[in-house]
Each structure stands twice: as structure tokens, then as C-alpha cells.
Chain A
């Protein structure tokens, strides 16, 4: 049995569960374990039930399991809602002043501490019950006090002494019950997918990030705003998503590398701007974090429902780049590439994320990321009269940015001539539409040089899972159990036909795993002439757990 375990910490929204999840993750990280953090919270600020599942393993992981080895319960709901996850040897640590545990198969494994009273006695605030229960857990898991002290000092700049004191009380009143073994891995940075996307944009030369807050991409806005001074770029939060994209296109026209972030609803408002970017050939990078709809739907949960939307959004026909990364390294690499591609081909680039991808926490190994190539955009060399839309075989015209003494730079949402002046001439209309569409072919050729379709697992297996985005991690682990192959397309526009065809070599049965109700990837590949044999779909907003997917696959492959 491999060295791995899962821990669940839960409480009311506003209890500081998120922060505790990160503290626990950092402790495991220092033990050399690899991690995945799943965060579940309702769309309210106070109250309701919120929890994090932290899974740690000596192997690389990117999903959670249903069953847990440790439960840290700060309120009764946590115990009641999650007791089915407990196994015979699972340890329950709870605030005996707030939680009653009953019906445990192994009551000896329950460890109740008077946490509320401890915190009161130390004159600490209620939120420090977290620190106390973590202290108790650290002892129960046989983890050295020094490690906890190190992490707490890093996480708390204020009240560190009181936090240490409260943690120590928890630690002292606890007892070792299930020893957590450390692993040989080097501690790696812990990043949320949203942070990885952000850093990728920074790497690609981000000048400005513009967004209107919307779950699940608001953390990108917050993170980038926080570090903007330090990294030297600007962050703006305007009046609406329409304001966001138009302001961004103003920056783009001036030669600034700009990105925007939103979710499906905000992206609806952006689509007229998207189409404008397609027509005027203004580069822009758009992050769309998916969550279940239609409409407001389940705002704090996850989905893969906007694949067709982002591929077809906006009136008219224009080329675009669409990528859906599946873990932190891919998020970093492809966000950077997306921005570069958008400038190289003067097209909108869309990074399709989701709540699990964006808010999930991963180990990030920068050494395993492919080298990010930065091609300079095609700039005007001043050798002839400037024409913003000069015809070219690959469709890419030279860029110039105001103020430019020798050039008049005109961009236009109307069909236009090479100078950017409005035209309704039929010949011009055809020339310009062909020019714009030509870019897609060149973009596709270049993308063939990158790994746009990934293959994992048993590469010779006849049964293959097909997945995309945040389902990558769970599919790889599930495939391992059954000895299957996994195919993960990363790029959807332009569709990587050759690489996809190659990945399918030898596959007799293709099982498509998606977090939506209609099988959007399945439909998409059908339009390219490929056929899916079985579908595993999930659309309750929650991610597949490994156990759940394992069971579904078992049902299909017999």
C-alpha cells in the first residue's frame, strides 16, 4: 500500500477553513509529500457548510478521494455530513464543546478536545479554534512540533505568539494515533490553478490585467492586484465586463499586453468585444473560469460547460486560440503561450479554466515546465507606408502603436481596407475575410510543434479515457488502476487534428469523461470525424473523486 492519506477539515463559512486547509497542506509539503487540495464552499459569506479535503501522497496526484483518514470537525455539520467518509482506522479530531460524535465503528479513534474552552481560556478569538485543532492533529499524526511552528510563523504575521500558544495547547492535549510517514520528495511550491495562470501571464509580459469580480476567477484579480506593484504591471476593476473588454482592447491597440478574467456570465457580456477583437485583429487574452449554469446556476461549484460557447462565441467568423490546462504546470505554460500566440497572430486567446482547476491547490514544479518560447510580435519596420491591415500570405500585418510619427494607425470594427478605412466593397470584403482566416492555418502549423494532445497511462491499451481540463488528474489515477490509456487534448482552437489522430492509434474503445450533461468534447470531436464509445458525465458541480470514477469505469469495462 502506498504512503498516502486524506484529511477533511470543515466548519461554517467564515470559520477560516480555507486558511487551515493551506496550513495543513504546507505541513504535508514540508514532509516531502505531494498534494491536492479540494475546496468546497457555498455562495454565502457567513454560515453554511464549508470544507477542504487535503490529499497527500508520495506520488504526484491531482484529485481527491471520497474516503478520509482524518476528520477535523469544528462543528456538528462537519461530522454529520461527512461521517460516511470515515473508515475503521480513520481518526476524528473534534471540538468536544461543539460536536457530539456517535455511531463510530471505532470510537477509540475519536479524539475530543475542549477547544472552545481552551480558546476562551487563552483569550483568543473564536477563529483560533482552527489553530488549536491543527495543533491537536499534528500530535495525532506524529508530526514534529517544529514543522507546525515553522508553518504557523509563515502564515501568521500578526498574533503569532497567541496562535502558537493555542496550537501548543491543542498539541499537548492530543495523543499520537496514526503516524504520518514523511517522504523523500523535495518540498515544492503550492499554487492554486488561478495563481499558476496568473504567473504564466506575468511570464508572458503582462502589462495590464482587467476584470470585474466573478467566481471562480476573482482570485486571479485579487492575486494580481496584490502583487502588481512588486511585479510592475497594472490591475483595473472597471464598471462591468463590457467595460473590461473594451478598456482592454484600448490597451491592446496601444501595444500593451493585456488579459481579462471572468466566468460564463461575464463572458456573455464580453462577446461583442470578442468579435470586435476578431475583426480589428487586436490581441487579447481572456480567462474563462467555468461553473455550472445555466444563468447563475451553482456559482461556487465547477463545470465544463463552456467549451462550445468559447469556441463559437461572437458574431461572424474569425480565428481564435482556445486552450484548457489540466494542472498547475499546464496552467502556467499555456497561459504564457496563449498570450504569446495572441500577439503573434493578432487573435483573441481564451484560457478555459473551471472552479476545480482555478481554486484547486497543486504542487508546482517549474523545472518540469517546457521552455516557454517568446516570439516577438510582427512589428512595422518603417520601410513603406504604414497599413494596419496590409495583406500578407499568413494574414499577419505589421503592428505599430501610437504615437508613431510616420504612421497613421487605424483599427476598425467595420469591414475595412488595408488602411483601416471602412469599406463595403465585395472584393475587399472577401480579401479581408480570407486574410483573417489565413492566420488560423499558420497558427495550426505552429501548434503542431507543441504538445497539444497529451497521452498518459498504458500507451498500448485498447481502452482509453478521453478527458480535458481539470479532469486530467482523476483520469490519470483511475486509468492506472485499470491499466488504461488517457488522452487529454489541451488545445481546442485550432483543433489539433494530427496529434489527436495519432493519440487514438490502437484505441478500440474510447470513454469520454466530462463534467457536463451533454458531452461537449464528445460532440466536438464528432464534428472532426471521431467517435466516442462511452460517456461518463457528471454535472452536480462537484469534481469526480477517484473512488467515484473508478466505480463508473468498472461499470463500463466490465
Chain B
């Protein structure tokens, strides 16, 4: 268990039974292990969006950037590019990351920037009291769709694979040991990693029983193999009643954005001299 103090004085306001507790606890355990293995806690920056998920940063005594709805990803990218030694972990809801902020997620995956996105995918808007999200199943009856949705959900992992993400995994809020392992692996992965957590909203979309019946752990799966990963990711489309695989679907190491991007030339430059030189050439 955790030897480090990660809590704050903030009062936890998640509903009893909320799947976010599992994410918080698994994350704390993962971080404690990483810390014991040599990751200084001051080198961690958490970023969150807006929604129930986002409160997680108030509950952790770590550097944090509590941003706005849909905008976790670009903020996380800026922080990473400012100092590539920082471990940047973004927490976002499914409405946040897959709805309002989907463009940013696609581009971060495309860049393979070394950040970790943990998606609290409860497939419903909790904080705004129960509307459908991009991953709600067809026919979902929410407060904005009282007669059921008329659109199919998106499969976020398939979209992320197509976008160029190099680490993709899924967990649930019933299974914190697996979740801890996945979080650790995602944080340690060099490149863009995303963990889709089937986090249950106890109040507006209680899927505990459903998930318990359908989930299974990936075994004899080679995450280096793109086609295997694609097949396993497509096994469940977030709508039908098929089996739901948990674990790491895909993992590949390729150069990251910050490696390709940051200029090597870091020697001190006298800007006044440079400005004068430029002005000389502008006559």
C-alpha cells in the first residue's frame, strides 16, 4: 500500500458507489510504486477537464492543472513540451475527451506526444445530471434524449488506433489491481498512451452488473501486433452485447513528438545582439 501521503483536505463529493474511487485508488497505488521505483513526485503534473472525473486533482496533493471542459489534451501537451522530464497525466471524462475535445485527442495521438490520458468513461454526463455521451449505446434514454438516442456510439480505442496512438488499454472500475497495472504501464510507456476506463456512474448509468458479466482479461494477445490489436479493439463496439476485453491492446515504441520537435541548440543566445544583427540585414 501507499507509503506516501497523496491526499488533500478537500472533501470528496463523488456519489457513494462511484467508479471514480477505483480510479483514484488505483492511481494512488500506481504512483506510490512508481515513486518507490524512482519517480520524484514533483516531476508529476496532473491535468483534468471539467466533470465528475476532474475532481480527482483536488483529492491528490500533486502538481495539477484543473483546466476546462474538453481541453485536457492541449494543456497536457504544452506542459510536456515545456519540460519533457515531466510525467504528464491527463484525466478526462468521455464527454470531455471523446465529445468536446475529440480533435485535440486525435492530434495528440497523431503526434505521439509522451503524455498519458486516463478516460473516465462512464458513458453518461454525470455532473450535468444524466445526458448521453459519444459512447452511450444506441437508444440510451438520457435527459436530453428521453425517447432514446438515435445514433450509434463511437469506439474510442479504434479511433485512437487509427489516429496513431502507441499505447491503448482498457480497464474497469471493478478491478483495481488490473487498473493499477495498466496505469503504471501507460505512464511508463514512451509515447501517447490512453486508458479507457469503463468507470461506472452509480447514479445515472449503473453498469456494474453488465460489465461484470461481459468482461474478460486479454490473454495470449500480442500488443505489438497492430492487426491483433485492431481485431480485439473491434470485438466490442460499445453498443452490442459481445464480450469486453480488458488489458493492453496495443503498444509500440516509435519516436515521440518532443524528441522530434525540441531544438537541440540550447546554448545561450544574446538576443540583443541577434536583434541588432537582424536589423542590420533589414536595411
Contact = CB atoms under 8 A, between A and B. Distances in A.
Interface residues of B, number: 54
In the A-B complex, list the 10 residue pairs whose CB atoms are closest, starting with the nearest.
A250-B78, A254-B82, A189-B282, A246-B74, A247-B78, A403-B42, A232-B269, A412-B66, A250-B79, A189-B279
A195 B47 CA distance: 35
B103 to A, nearest CB: 6
Nearest to A200: B275
Of B45, B57, B64, B261, most buried by chain A (CB within 10 Å of CB) is: B64
A302 B195 CA distance: 47
B283 A422 contact: no
B271 A231 contact: yes
A82 interface: no
Nearest to B106: A239
A238 B261 CA distance: 13
A135 to B, nearest CB: 21
Contacts of B42: 402-405, 407
A236 B108 CA distance: 13
A379 interface: no
B121 to A, nearest CB: 21
29 contacts: A189-B280, A189-B282, A199-B278, A227-B278, A232-B265, A234-B262, A238-B74, A239-B103, A246-B71, A246-B75, A247-B77, A248-B78, A249-B78, A250-B80, A250-B82, A253-B78, A253-B82, A258-B78, A276-B67, A402-B43, A402-B79, A403-B40, A403-B86, A408-B61, A408-B63, A410-B57, A412-B66, A413-B50, A420-B64
A421 to B, nearest CB: 5
B47 to A, nearest CB: 8
Contact of B282 (A190, A244, A276): A190
A503 B157 CA distance: 63
A250 B74 contact: yes
A248 B79 CA distance: 9
Contacts of A195: 282
Interface in A124-179: none
B197 to A, nearest CB: 22
- State the majority secondary structure of interface residues on A: mixed
B8 interface: yes
Interface string A212-234: 00000000000000011111101
A404 B63 CA distance: 9
Contacts of B85: 403
A243 B83 contact: no
Given A234-B262, A402-B43, A251 B68 contact: no
Contacts of B83: 254, 402-403
Given A203-B271, A402-B86, A411 B66 contact: yes
Interface in B12-49: 40, 42-43, 45, 47
Contacts of A29: 283
A228 B266 CA distance: 12
Chain A interface category by residue count: 35 or more
A247 B271 contact: no
Interface of A: 26, 29-30, 187-191, 195, 199, 202-203, 205, 208, 227-232, 234, 236, 238-240, 242-244, 246-256, 258, 272-273, 276, 364, 366, 402-405, 407-414, 416, 419-422
A242 B263 contact: no
B189 interface: no
B137 to A, nearest CB: 29
B8 to A, nearest CB: 6
Contact of A421 (B50, B58, B272, B280): B58
B67 A413 contact: yes
B76 interface: yes
Nearest to A364: B279
A509 B274 CA distance: 46
Contacts of A276: 67-68
A431 B182 CA distance: 42
B9 interface: yes
A240 B45 CA distance: 24
Contact of B65 (A26, A202, A366, A411): A411
Given A202-B275, A234-B81, A250-B78, A243 B107 contact: yes
Given A248-B78, A254-B79, A421-B9, 18 more contacts: A30-B283, A187-B283, A199-B275, A205-B271, A234-B262, A239-B106, A242-B71, A243-B103, A246-B75, A246-B78, A249-B75, A250-B77, A250-B81, A251-B78, A272-B71, A276-B67, A409-B63, A410-B57
A192 to B, nearest CB: 10
Contacts of B78: 246-254, 258
B174 interface: no
Output the residue of B86, B103, B107, B279 with the most chain A CB within 10 A.
B279
Nearest to A366: B279
Contacts of A254: 78-79, 82-83, 86
